[in-house]
Structure 1
């Protein structure tokens, strides 16, 4: 039975106490640091000793694959431990180096397994499966091995390339993070005193004094612009590094290499982004609706970017303290089934010590992510926790990754198949965010609260689909431009940003300082060419969201099967299993646009029920 939470309970004091700092108990993976280090040494020795077999007999092949799986499970346990260590302190260089070594070991297991399968070939493998059907589950490994062959280097060359590129990539990312942290954004005088534009960004964005909001927004843009040549230099360095690595691996360019690894092609990405761009008038209609509502509510002629975080007059955005987070998020995920909800409750329960969060960043990584490994439950890292609805949605998202990994492990998914195309992982997590906002929207009768949550949900949907389409074109454009010598510095990146975003949105024409938006695209610096994943993920997540609303019973069956299967086939086959028919991301565009249009229409109706500006603002 669903529990109705009145809005008055959700709208607790904005000054609600932050969650106390928590730490994940690393004994989820190892009894102690010494035990981890000892086992890591043994692991690296065991991986180095893994042979490449030459046309083994069926029984010997199955034994070999089982051994490789056990090694991969151990790799993933060490990777989780070390990722936590490096996230808790980005200056822990010893842990970072150990993490790289473990990652290399995992790559070695995969590569030697692939080499062994190649000695057998498709025909030989088919005969082996006929003799020993248990081998059939590993066919996707063989397909991946054959597919990757044209782009693989000799072991010694690949090791050197991986070592140098990983170190350089991490160096660029650390420089980016430290530059952001060292940026002085300035202060704005408010009724609450002088506030820091960087640290107090959320407070300033919703300050009732429009002059304060405008000054804070412009100071932030000016601070980014003052450092943009530094950021441009970092990004150009990343592009050149990735382009060179891609060409050494016999790809035409870095986008082709990145997309190949994620099981789609540049042609696929471009076609999907263009299909979304064709619906840009829908995004612009939503943005104009928002702009007109904000202008009406504030009694002004033209809304600007600094006005968008202002809540409706008389409405206070709720604070999500720790208790609220642990209660509301699992309730919101009820459409995913009782078992899923029980797993999520356990993840957030402080007694289980599976969540790592802090209220002060210090040297912690500025990120949120899941940690998972075979044989242990999923865990969650939050760089800095703030008691807001947006941060709670991040918990729903990243917690979704943790639970997905845990469910695959509990259902016996091979360590070879618990990591699949990134966009499929992301879709499963984004669905949680959509359900979270839907729950809040449905569980209040206050029109202002309903509008707030529906607006947040629409922002999520349009961001994942439209903004991701922008970003895919944008990041490709930066890579193409740098390689061609047409993009050399910040001014060129600003120009490209405005050219692309103006095709999708209304705001860059209203506020041209949004030309600096590329600086805030963290993933371009941390995980280059990853952003396109969110385009595909947003499309699939929105479709799943609609299915969960319209036929919950059928959806839960499909979703439970999805959680149990892992990624043991090509994406088109996995989608066909889920939908019961062939389906590709571009096929989802029109149906998703219908969902967004429905939500925009509902928001327009809610806006008409809200009061106009108070006399003091007219």
Structure 2
């Protein structure tokens, strides 16, 4: 008898309690559209201030605050438009919202683009005098110092205006990728473990790869990449255009390369990136050992890429409902104190979270918000352990945002992307420790250990693999070498083989994996998942042994200091290799634990 096909629900079919409440930002869409009109009307007010910075400390302060106020309003409107669009990327009405917001964002950028070049033209002594004359400016001293530190990388006011006005054009490759990947790709139906015919999607792909049935994993893997293979040239053109734009902007701003441009803005030494890659490559034998363990436990002749995500131990009979997971999250995070968990409860109760998957919804998960909004979370809940970890991960982001927003002024509330993954992965580490301590069943404990090792593999090893690929595509473009699908496929396949070692069967489909990674459009972002995970490992142990005070101060710091210094104050020096070596030490320890536990259970 033919099984009934399981379709994704439409957005309007989702219960409201499982959706985020965006009326906390704007009461309705009309209020949002009115805000766009008012923002556009304020651009001239800022543009007319050009030339005012040299007219005294009061004029300087007034112009700075007018710009920050405009950017603050624009950021709020953009968050709303983005969330509306992501809840159903196929909705043309909200596609229009995000398009308008992006265009207006570019106009605002052009309208304020004169400020930094004009600031950099001020003599240093005159700027120092402003701080002495007007103590209100001291609140912005670090902000101004970050700008002046990049003096040689700013262009003339006219050139900055031209670049700011083209921001929407420069983002075109990323926008094309987003629409193609989230809306236009049509995936076939596949059979799940219960022989149900289901529509393959970004949201359920990961769950299918976790299936204990190899035929299910293989089908999901091959069907997914057959679709990407068809569009490999389009994805290659889009990514190559983005990389070329990134390199072009770095060159025009007098950076040695695009990686330096991305890291220097946050005062991150390039050596941090290089050290990560070196340390990961040095410890690749640990990953090879883990792949070998998978081969042994799964009793297979060769390990395929679709065998890397299924638990090597029996999956616990229980599922992780959203309701039960909320309670687990609160218990695991109780070590951070009552104030922290009270904010987590607020997120659950006040609909800051969009929980389940619907047709057209953006894939994956994220935390998004700004100074004047709640720190919203997008999920695509699947009732498994991975969903629980995703929830506590994104909650880490949101609580970091909340703490920064409530502790800092607007201009210091947006923490650096370099520290953005630390709070989320600290939460993951705390959850792992909690689950291991509160689990008596050796089968469940083995499953959790396996999950931790998989998370480490997917974060430190895999994201560094991405970082190597990202550096390579930028180098290829900078050297004016071809960046077609053929070249990217070949390099990625070889890189993948080097990372996973002699026991991996390098499936031909894996060569297309780079096509579906949105982070390659984020400009040297992925390495921070790996550095953040390693730092979080150290911080989690510090919380458990010494208490959360230093960590909570880290969450509240925002961008009030350079990110390297903020983490150092919390107890982790990321300019050294110690935190990475410690992380690999914990991986090896838990790999030992799993090997011994498996031996006892077999």
Q: TM-score, normalised by structure 2?
A: 0.86
Indicate if the aligned counterparts of 1:20 and 1:358 stay in contact, CA closer than 8 A. no
Match for residue 53 of structure 2? 54
Indicate if the aligned counterparts of 1:370 and 1:399 stay in contact, CA closer than 8 A. yes
Equivalents in 1 of 2:303, 2:470: separation in Å? Answer: 29
Q: Secondary structure at the match of 1:370?
A: strand
Match for residue 333 of structure 1? 333
Match for residue 503 of structure 1? 498
Deviation string 1:202-222 (CA, Å, 9 cap, x unpaired) is 565455544454454444444
Mapped pair 1:520 → 2:516: yes
Match for residue 475 of structure 1? 470
Per-residue deviation, 1:477:
0.8
Equivalents in 1 of 2:130, 2:502: separation in Å? Answer: 60
Match 1:177 to one of 178, 182, 193:
182
Q: Secondary structure at the match of 2:171?
A: helix
Per-residue deviation, 1:312:
5.7
Equivalents in 2 of 1:265, 1:197: separation in Å? Answer: 42
Moved more, 333-342 or 300-309: 300-309
Indicate if the aligned counterparts of 1:176 and 1:231 stay in contact, CA closer than 8 A. no
Equivalents in 2 of 1:249, 1:507: separation in Å? Answer: 43
Match for residue 195 of structure 2? 192
Equivalents in 1 of 2:121, 2:207: separation in Å? Answer: 62
Match for residue 163 of structure 1? 168
Match for residue 592 of structure 2? 601
Match for residue 449 of structure 1? 444
Moved over 6 A (4+): none
Match for residue 275 of structure 1? 279
Q: 1:369 to 1:110 in 2, by over 3 A?
A: farther
Pairing of 1:311-460 with structure 2 (within 5 A): 311=311, 315-316=315-316, 318-349=318-349, 352-360=350-358, 362-382=359-379, 384-411=380-407, 413-460=408-455
Per-residue deviation, 1:339:
1.1
Mapped pair 1:93 → 2:95: yes
Per-residue deviation, 1:233:
3.0
Indicate if the aligned counterparts of 1:347 and 1:355 stay in contact, CA closer than 8 A. yes
Deviation string 1:82-113 (CA, Å, 9 cap, x unpaired) is 22122123343321223214533664576455
Deviation string 1:505-526 (CA, Å, 9 cap, x unpaired) is 22784233333332332322x4
Indicate if the aligned counterparts of 2:113 and 2:164 stay in contact, CA closer than 8 A. no
Equivalents in 1 of 2:214, 2:461: separation in Å? Answer: 28
Equivalents in 1 of 2:182, 2:215: separation in Å? Answer: 30
Equivalents in 1 of 2:78, 2:583: separation in Å? Answer: 37
Q: Secondary structure at the match of 1:380?
A: strand
Indicate if the aligned counterparts of 1:24 and 1:353 stay in contact, CA closer than 8 A. yes
Per-residue deviation, 1:226:
4.2
Q: 1:455 to 1:32 in 2, by over 3 A?
A: same
Number of paired residues? 579
Deviation string 1:355-388 (CA, Å, 9 cap, x unpaired) is 223332x232224222323244322223x32222
Q: Secondary structure at the match of 2:166?
A: helix
Indicate if the aligned counterparts of 1:68 and 1:109 stay in contact, CA closer than 8 A. no
Q: 1:415 to 1:315 in 2, by over 3 A?
A: same
Equivalents in 2 of 1:30, 1:191: separation in Å? Answer: 43
List runs of 5+ in structure 1 lacking aligned partners. Answer: 1-16, 612-618
Pairing of 1:197-236 with structure 2 (within 5 A): 198=201, 201=205, 204-236=208-240
CA RMSD of aligned residues (A): 3.1
List runs of 5+ in structure 2 lacking aligned partners. Answer: 1-8
Q: 1:532 to 1:420 in 2, by over 3 A?
A: same
Q: TM-score, normalised by structure 1?
A: 0.84
Q: 1:288 to 1:110 in 2, by over 3 A?
A: farther
Equivalents in 1 of 2:368, 2:219: separation in Å? Answer: 40
Q: Secondary structure at the match of 1:374?
A: coil
Equivalents in 2 of 1:176, 1:262: separation in Å? Answer: 30
Equivalents in 2 of 1:508, 1:520: separation in Å? Answer: 25
Match 1:570 to one of 544, 562, 567:
562
Equivalents in 1 of 2:531, 2:280: separation in Å? Answer: 11
Equivalents in 2 of 1:508, 1:301: separation in Å? Answer: 9
Mapped pair 1:84 → 2:75: no
Q: Secondary structure at the match of 2:413?
A: coil
